[in-house]
Amino acid sequence: MSRFSLEGQVAVVTGAARGVGELLARKLSARGAKVALVGLEEEALKEVSGRLHSDSAYWYADVTDHEAMSRVAREVKERFGKVDIVVANAGVATGGPFVDSDPQAWRRVIEVNLIGSAVTARAFLPVLVESRGYLLQIASLAAIAPAPMMTAYCASKSGVEAYAHSLRAEVGHQGVRVGVGYLSWTDTDMVRGADQDDVMRELRQRLPWPSNKTYPLGPAVDRIVAGIERRSAHVYGQWWLRGMQGVRGYLPALIGTVGQREMKRFGPRLQGMNSGLVGAGGAADEAARTTHRN
């Protein structure tokens, strides 16, 4: 597939303060893109913006807030003159048994990962139509192979995958391309936060190869950048994820059988697990909402 030069392109990245979003912003900037950073960690966004190689700016905004994201879209257009690329990357996660999960944390995962992605697209689609641009929705292996102990995250990532596929069919005739990015366990604050729980870490390590590994962030983001350059419909952060598409129809039965066995094995240790948002990003989300409530 032909590649689009990123030189002079304007890219918006949500969840840009850390992890995938932060490194993606740096790599896009290194290729000449102007970058608009969006997130809930204002000081971190400021630091990221200050380290970029090209023109950049940052916006503090909750992706679930339609008015805030509409304002960001207007201001980004005013600041840079156009928007060519939007990466809906913002996300949070929680783990543990569904029956014992914190209802508010569970709901927040759906709100940020699914509703927030839709709010982001709703705000930026008009300017993407103007530029005949590209929207990349970050999903996950969790959309292909939903696993136990991750009900909210799997539901949200399955939702954004289906939503993005549907949206692609709606806006393609307007020149807007829509892609879905898939990542397995990648070395980010979110994954490290989940690994702090012994059960979640051991359960992941018992998954079949190659899904039981944590993969380095750099190569995964390099693959995302290449997907953006190609305006790809599917972007795979790890090479083997492409092959999972061909067998995904068999996975629910397999995961159901194996999952029941593993839940029985871990049964006595499931009580009292932390069911809140995990990692530094989860903490930042909770802090921002607490400040807003106060």
Query: Which are the catalytic amino acids?
Result: 153
Residue 211: CB atoms within 10 A of its CB come to 17
Helices (H) and strands (E) in the chain, counts: 13, 7
- Say whether 178 sits in a helix, a strand or coil: strand
Handedness of CA 17, 137, 161, 126 (dihedral sign): positive
- Maximum separation of any 2 CA atoms in the chain, in Å: 58
Asked if 231 and 134 count as a contact pair (C-beta separation under 8 A), the reply is yes
Tokens standing for residue 290:
């607490």
Give CA–CA dist 156/44, Å, rounded.
26
